[in-house]
Amino acid sequence: MDNKKIGVLFDLDGVLVDSEGEYSDFWGPMGRRFNVPSPTFAADIKGTTLGEILLAFPEDAREGIVEELHEYEKAMKYPWIPGAEKFINELLAAGIPFAIVTSSDDVKMGYLFAAHPELRDKLTALVTGSMVKHSKPNPEGYLKGAELIGVPIEDCYVFEDSLQGLEAGMRSGATVIGLATTNSREKLKGRAHKIIDDFAGFTIERMREVTR
């Protein structure tokens, strides 16, 4: 693969920014408030679009939930996962195209770019939840991301943290690297071609060494 043009496709929450815990703090209580049956609801929905998440709630409550979510997201800080910003800058310097492939909606992305205004200009492409018909674990988002950056999916590296996202990456045909930020290494075992704790010390060279 060293002589081929390669591309990188990042999930967002739990991969580039450390926000998954905050979302669990929002959706866990919200699920309990509306008596959502699953005791692991906040974990079950990771990687899922907002539209699909809302199906678990009464129809007449959904608009209010979205308003609460956006107020919550507006107050979030979106700190970088360790090493993520440096790795992005390394990709940029090497001319390697990369995209964010996220289930987040456009309002949330506006808050993210307000926190990290430089990121918008660095991205080659962006795939949000409004751009796909099927949430992860369906691979549609990653296939679209590869198309937008102009690199065949088999020459792309996907970085994911959620179980649904890892399945989407594997089903897409990409080389998948899992981050043990949301789930333990043990839980991610067998779901990715390589597992890392975060991007600290991670380089393009180390990424290229990962094989399917």
What CATH code is carried by the domain that includes residue 119?
Answer: 3.40.50.1000
- pTM, whole model, 2 decimals? 0.91
Q: Are residues 98 and 167 in the same domain?
A: yes
Examine the pLDDT at 1 and tell me if it is beyond 50: no
Query: What pLDDT digit, counting tens, does each position of 68-103 carry?
Result: 999 999 999 899 999 999 999 999 999 999 999 999
| 196-158-175 Cα angle (round to 5) | 85
Which pLDDT belongs to residue 79?
A: 94
Which pLDDT belongs to residue 130?
A: 92
Number of domains in the chain: 2
Q: Are residues 68 and 131 in the same domain?
A: no
Which of 10, 2, 24, 8 minimizes the C-alpha distance to 112? 10
Q: Are residues 160 and 105 in the same domain?
A: yes
Rounded CA-CA distance 91/190 in Å is 27
Please check whether residue 165 is in contact with residue 16, taking contact to mean a CB–CB distance below 8 angstroms.
Answer: no
Give the residue numbers spanning the domain of 88.
Answer: 7-19+79-208
Q: Are residues 122 and 192 in the same domain?
A: yes
Examine the pLDDT at 200 and tell me if it is beyond 60: yes
